[in-house]
Amino acid sequence: MAPQPPPPANPSKFYFYYGKRKPSQNRPTVYGGLFSNRQTLNPNNPNFPNSNNNHPQSQNPSNFTLQNWDPDSPNAPKPFHPKTPSENFFHIAQKLSPIARYICDSFRKHQRWGSQVIADLSKLRRVKPNLVAEVLKVHDDPTVCSKFFHWAGNQKGYQHTYLSYNAFAYCLNRLNRFRAADQIPELMHMQGRPPSEKQFEILIRMHADNNRGLRVYYVYEKMKKFEVKPRVFLYNRIMDALVKTGHLDLAMTVYDDFKKDGLVEETVTYMILIKGLCRGGRIDEMLELLVRMRSLLKPDVFAYTAMIHILVGEMNLDGCLKVWDEMERDKVVPDAMAYTTLISALCKGSRVDKAYELFKGMKKKGDLIDRAIYGALVEGFVADGKVGSALDLLKDMIDSGYRADLSIYNSLIQGLCNLKQLDKAHKLFQVTVNECLQPDFTTVNPMLVSYAESKEMDDFCNLLVQMQKLGSPVIEGLSEFFSQMVEREERLPCTLEVFKYLKNKGYCSVSIYNILLEAMYKSRQTKEALSLFDEMKDSNFAPDSTTYSQAIMCLVDLEDAREACLWYNKIKEMGSMPSIAAYCSLVNGLCKIGEIDAAISLVQDCLANVSNGPMEFKYTLNILHACKANDADKVIEVVNEMLEQEFIPNEIIYCAVISGMCKHGTIEEARKVFSSMKEQKYLSEANMILYDDMLIEHMKKKTAELVLSGLKFFGLESKLKSKGSTLLPA
């Protein structure tokens, strides 16, 4: 027998290093790979591939050794994933320590907290607080995380540390359980570890980042309950969160507590409150706070510019000027940003004279004037009718070495056209062309309007030809021109003359027809609009859904709802939808001629195809649903709710009562609803008689349909005489 070799003096011990240990040259940090050797939800299933039945350690948990659990082993069985986790989670899991990966792997395998997860955790000797924090940072199930946190706290000789409490708070907030996270200070106090300012700071920061101002104040009140006094930094954070979320009064309450605690304000403290008071329009309180701020530190130009910027956003020009006076009192020299902000706001607020005074002050001091200041002043002077002053500013701007942009020229051209100085306006237009500023129809539309009003159509067409040479889309530009022309109703006859002239020249489109049809309908020229519609059908331009929608509204106004239904069907055949205004007009027209079923069908079709239908249509369906109970009181409740929302009942509401009660109720219940509307003075005596007749006729119609259905069921319809019927949209 061959001699046996002696055993090794030092047998190798298998162990691994935690990722949290300090690495060295001979002891590097081990991160590991992806989760791999967790098998299935039921590892004892013999039919499942790679079952653990062949592994003796899986049969006896007492033989489990964590050292033999190696997810990166090439001999490990392939995993089975009920749900493939996100790649982002796997990227994070690669940097977990092995025990943390083992715990997360158990959570992933079993999907929920239970005896199986507890059995896996029981195989570990001890789960330390830093390990609890590591797991909570990556897991995304709030229930499992909460159960695991409380399980760890029940270990013998274990006590949570601030690290694990903070990780639990971050975990709950990340998983949108911020209300539960707010209860962690009570949990810490109950477990014998009173919360410090750091724990409250975490909660405040989380709520502030998500704009939950009231939750910030709730945590602050809890700090006072635990007698924890915030530092100046945390006070600033609380007040800033309250100001940004619009709770200025609460922020001032916190500031009162700040002063009671004997703390000294920082510049940031004052600026937070001053910005909030500016945004709230409380200028007097802001000025008082500004006086206190001067005792600590004089505000600089950036602080004053921030105040002006906030007040400009609120269009509080008086407040802006008061802040400007305070800046001059402190002898703070405003910079170009401060001047630009205030001058632009004054020009938009029709205070161009005050803005020009500031501009002259800048020139007197020799400050650099931004081009935006010139542009704001030019627009302000043009809006004020002082085109000469605007032209002088343009000359001053060019002499200062600036090049005017297209918006400045557009304003000047608009002003000159308002004064009927078309020659000067055309010269400025040529300047924009020569300087390659690429003028568009926004530039020439004021000139086109002036040419149209003065009937100078040759100059009008020459300008169109020049714009076409510059590469501008003429047809789209003319659509903008006609939209601008029809804004004033008195210009509609002139607009139609220009349209006829341009149509003969070949300048026409469907969009132009639609603009004119809408303008004629609004001006109650219904017959003329239908004539234009017939002309469009005979031309080479095919009407679209917008055109047919305008025709529907015109026909309903002429009390021809049946022909309007034909154009509605035409729109449906095109695969398009009418406008909401066309739906409302056609429904009211059908109600007036007693076609209640067709009107209800249109209401349902509208609500099924538009994203935000009329409220009258929605209440129509509510009334139909309430009628199913054959109880007038329920229908009256819906009507009263409608009145509370300031929606007055109209034809479709009355017809909905008739339709619903004829189908599900009785005539008496419908009359009770109409009597209630009459008592509330929404239904006159004459209309009540009218709708009562419609109610009786509709009930007769429904009864006849029921009789006809019975005859057809028994095969007796051959004895009926055939009668023609008018088809209406379903």
Highest mean pLDDT among 19-33, 214-228, 688-702: 214-228
| pLDDT at res. 473 | 92
What CA–CA distance (Å, rounded) separates 142 from 171? Answer: 8
Segments of 97-219 assigned E as strands: none
Q: What is the pTM of this model?
A: 0.69
The Cα–Cα gap between 674 and 395 comes to 72
What is the residue-averaged pLDDT of the chain? Answer: 84
- pLDDT tens string 485-543: 999 889 999 999 999 999 998 899 999 999 999 999 999 999 999 999 999 988 888 99
Nearest residue to 330 (alpha-carbon basis) of 379, 380, 295: 295
Inter-residue contact 43 to 58 (CB < 8 Å)? yes
Residue type, 32: G
Residue given tokens 């897991």 in the structure block: 139
Question: What does the pLDDT look like over 25-43, one tens digit per residue?
Answer: 554 444 444 444 443 344 4
pLDDT for residue 45 is more than 60: no
Q: Is residue 338 within 8 Å of residue 370, measured between CB atoms? A: no
Q: Which residues have a Cβ under 8 Å from the Cβ of 502 and sit 6 or more positions away?
A: 478, 508
Residues in the chain: 730
* 288-300 confidence digits (pLDDT tens): 999 888 887 788 8
Q: Is a pLDDT exceeding 80 seen at residue 18?
A: no
Higher pLDDT, 98 or 694: 694
Of 192, 188, 191, 200, the residue nearest 234 (C-alpha): 200
Q: Cα dist. 397→240, 309, 343, 391, 405 in Å?
A: 42, 25, 16, 10, 11
705 CB-contact burial (10 Å; exposed 0-12 / middle 13-18 / buried 19+):
exposed
Report the distance separating Cα 308 and Cα 318, nearest Å: 11
Task: Quickly state the pLDDT bin for 684 (edges 50, 70, 90).
Answer: confident
Instruction: Look at residues 232, 231, 172 and name the one whose alpha carbon lies nearest to residue 207.
Output: 172
Better pLDDT: 93 or 655: 655
Sorted by sequence, the CB contacts under 8 Å of residue 387 that are 6+ apart come out as 381, 412, 415, 416, 418, 419, 421
Q: Which is nearest to 207 in space by CA: 231, 235, 237?
A: 237
The rounded distance, in Å, linking the Cα atoms of 461 and 56 is 95
pLDDT of residue 101: 83
Lowest pLDDT segment from 74-83, 88-97, 409-418, 553-562? 74-83
Region 609-631 average pLDDT: 90
Cα–Cα distance, 219 to 237 (Å, whole number)? 12
